C-alpha cells in the first residue's frame, strides 16, 4: 500500500495551481486539485480576462468617434450593458471548461470542494473525506481588500461585483489609484459613465515611473475622468438607489455606484496553516516562501498571489511550473522575479519593464534618460487630443537599457517584445542599430538619439 493517497495535493484551481498540477502529472505524479469555486481562479473568472474583454468593448466608443476624421459617417448607435455581461459570461464559462478539461486530460483529479490542512500531510475536504499527500501546494490566490472599515462600507462593490452589475452606472465613484481602479475607471468612462477616482496619495499609479504617472493622469483627465488625490472616502450614505460619498476633506460626491479598488490580500484564512505549521510573512501577510516556493514546512509549497510576492498571473504560472519541475521533474528551477514586464489596461494603456528612472538613479551612478511624447498618427486625422509617451532608462556607464516605459495604444504589446531585449541586457547601441519599422509609434524606441536628461550621482565624501 502507498504511504500517501496522492503524490501532490493542490489547493486552488487558478493559473498557478493548474500549471503545477498539469506539469507534475506529466512527470507521472498522482495529483489531486481542490477548487471550491470555479476553475481558472482570479485571472480567468474575475480578473484579467473579463477585465480585458470589458476594456476592448469600452474602446468601441472612441473608434466610432474617431471614424469621422477618416470619412466614415456612422449613424445613431446604442450600447447594451446586459449583452456585454452575458457574452462575457459565456466566454468565461468556455475558458473554465478548458481549464477543467486540460487538468483532467493531464491525469490529475479535480474535487470541487474546500480543502483545509489538518497536518503537514493531511487535507480534510468539506465533504468529510480526508486525503494524505506527500507534497502539498497552496495556490489559493488573493481577494479584494476594502481597507479600513468606514461607515457605509456595506454599500461598496469590489472588482468582483463590477463584472456582474445588472446595469451600467450613470455615475460611479472609485476609490484607489492602482491597476484595478484605473482600469475600471477607463472601462466605465468608455461606456458612458461619469467617473470620479479618489486616491489617498499625491498621484495615481504609486510605484510606477513619475513621467508615466503624470502622463496617464493628464490623459485620463482629458477623457473627462475626475481624479481627486490626497483624500480618502470617510463615509458612504445610501438614499434609495443613490449614494453620497463623503471624503476626508468634508466634501461629498453623489453617484449611483461606489467601488473600492485599494488593494488585494492573500487568501490565507481558514486553510489550517497554523495547524500544519505554515508561517505567514509578517511583512506582507502572504505565505512565507523561499526562492523555491517552499514554505516553513518542507513538503508544503505555495505559489502565486497567496505569497504576495509579485501578483501577476504569468508569475504564478511560472512559479507553479518551476515547482513541478523541481519537485517532480528532478530539474531544479528557480523563478527570476527581476525584470518582469507588466501592463495597466487603463485608457491610455501602460506597458513597463525594468527600472523606473527613480529606481535607476538610486542604484546606478550614471543614468541617461531618453524620453519623447508625441501625437500618434491616428490622432492627426481623428482630431483626438492625445499623446503617446515613450521612455528608456539607460545605465550611462555600461549603456545597458535598464527600463522601458510606454503609455499609449498598444503599449502592452510593444512592451512584451521590448522585455526580451531588456532581459537579454541589450544596450542603447543595440536599440540604435535596429532599423526602425515605419510608420509605427514604436519606431521611436530605436530613433531616440539624444538623452533628454543625464544624471550623475556624486560620490559621498
Q: Give the active site residues.
A: 438
CA distances from 386 to 20, 61, 253, 369 (A): 43, 15, 28, 23
Task: Go through the chain and tell me how many residues it has.
Answer: 461
Cell numbers that stand for 279 in this block: 508561517
Cis bond upstream, residue 439 (ω within 30): yes
Residue 298 CA to residue 438 CA, distance in Å, equals: 54
* Exposure b/e, 275-297, CB count within 10 A at least 16 = b: ebebebbeeeebbbbeeebbbeb
Let me know: does 159 contact 260? Beta carbons within 8 Å: no
| CA neighbor of 62 nearest in space, from 222, 261, 256, 227 | 222
Q: What is the DSSP string of 193-245?
A: -EEEEEESSSSSSTTS-HHHHHHHHHHHHHTT-EEEES--EEEEEEETTEEEE
DSSP bridge pairs for 194: 171
| CA neighbor of 349 nearest in space, from 224, 442, 197, 220 | 220
Amino acid at each position: 500500500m502507498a504511504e500517501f493517497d496522492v503524490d501532490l495535493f493542490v489547493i486552488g484551481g487558478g493559473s498557478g495551481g493548474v500549471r503545477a498540477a498539469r506539469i507534475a502529472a506529466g512527470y507521472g505524479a498522482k495529483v489531486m486539485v481542490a477548487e471550491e469555486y470555479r476553475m481558472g481562479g482570479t485571472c480567468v473568472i474575475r480578473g484579467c480576462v473579463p477585465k480585458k474583454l470589458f476594456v476592448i468593448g469600452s474602446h468601441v466608443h472612441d473608434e466610432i468617434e474617431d471614424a469621422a476624421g477618416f470619412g466614415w459617417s456612422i449613424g445613431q448607435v446604442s450600447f447594451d450593458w446586459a449583452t456585454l455581461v452575458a457574452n462575457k459570461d459565456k466566454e468565461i464559462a468556455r475558458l473554465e471548461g478548458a481549464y477543467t478539461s486540460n487538468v483532467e486530460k493531464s491525469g490529475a483529479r479535480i474535487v470541487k470542494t474546500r480543502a483545509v490542512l489538518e497536518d503537514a500531510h493531511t487535507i480534510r475536504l468539506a465533504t468529510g473525506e480526508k486525503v494524505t499527500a506527500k507534497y502539498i501546494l497552496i495556490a489559493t490566490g488573493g481577494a479584494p481588500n476594502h481597507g479600513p472599515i468606514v461607515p457605509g462600507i456595506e454599500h461598496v462593490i469590489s472588482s468582483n461585483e463590477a463584472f456582474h452589475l445588472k446595469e451600467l452606472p450613470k455615475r460611479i465613484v472609485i476609490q484607489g489609484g492602482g491597476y484595478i481602479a484605473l482600469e475600471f475607471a477607463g472601462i466605465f468612462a468608455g461606456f458612458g459613465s461619469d467617473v470620479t477616482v479618489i486616491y489617498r496619495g499625491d498621484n495615481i499609479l504609486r510605484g510606477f515611473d513619475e513621467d508615466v504617472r503624470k502622463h496617464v493622469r493628464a490623459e485620463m483627465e482629458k477623457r473627462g475622468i475626475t481624479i481627486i488625490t490626497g483624500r480618502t472616502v470617510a463615509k458612504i450614505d445610501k438614499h434609495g438607489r443613490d449614494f453620497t460619498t463623503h471624503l476626508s476633506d468634508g466634501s461629498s460626491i453623489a453617484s449611483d455606484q461606489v467601488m473600492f479598488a485599494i488593494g488585494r490580500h492573500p487568501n490565507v484564512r481558514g486553510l489550517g496553516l497554523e495547524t500544519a505549521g505554515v508561517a505567514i510573512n509578517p511583512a506582507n501577510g502572504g505565505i512565507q516562501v523561499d526562492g523555491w516556493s517552499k514554505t516553513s514546512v518542507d513538503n508544503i509549497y505555495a505559489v502565486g498571489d497567496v505569497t504576495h510576492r509579485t501578483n501577476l498571473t504569468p508569475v504564478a504560472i511560472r512559479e507553479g511550473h518551476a515547482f513541478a519541475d523541481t519537485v517532480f521533474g528532478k530539474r531544479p528551477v528557480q523563478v527570476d522575479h527581476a525584470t518582469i514586464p507588466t501592463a495597466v489596461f487603463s485608457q491610455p494603456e501602460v506597458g513597463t519593464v525594468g527600472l523606473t528612472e527613480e529606481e535607476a538613479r538610486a542604484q546606478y551612478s550614471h543614468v541617461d534618460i531618453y524620453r519623447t511624447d508625441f501625437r500618434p498618427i491616428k490622432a492627426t486625422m481623428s482630431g483626438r487630443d492625445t499623446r503617446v509617451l515613450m521612455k528608456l532608462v539607460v545605465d550611462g556607464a555600461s549603456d545597458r537599457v535598464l527600463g522601458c516605459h510606454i503609455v499609449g495604444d498598444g503599449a502592452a504589446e510593444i512592451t512584451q517584445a521590448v522585455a526580451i531585449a531588456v532581459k537579454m541586457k541589450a544596450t542603447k547601441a543595440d536599440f540604435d542599430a535596429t532599423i526602425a519599422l515605419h510608420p509605427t509609434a514604436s519606431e521611436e524606441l530605436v530613433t531616440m538619439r539624444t538623452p533628454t536628461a543625464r544624471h550623475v550621482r556624486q560620490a559621498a565624501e
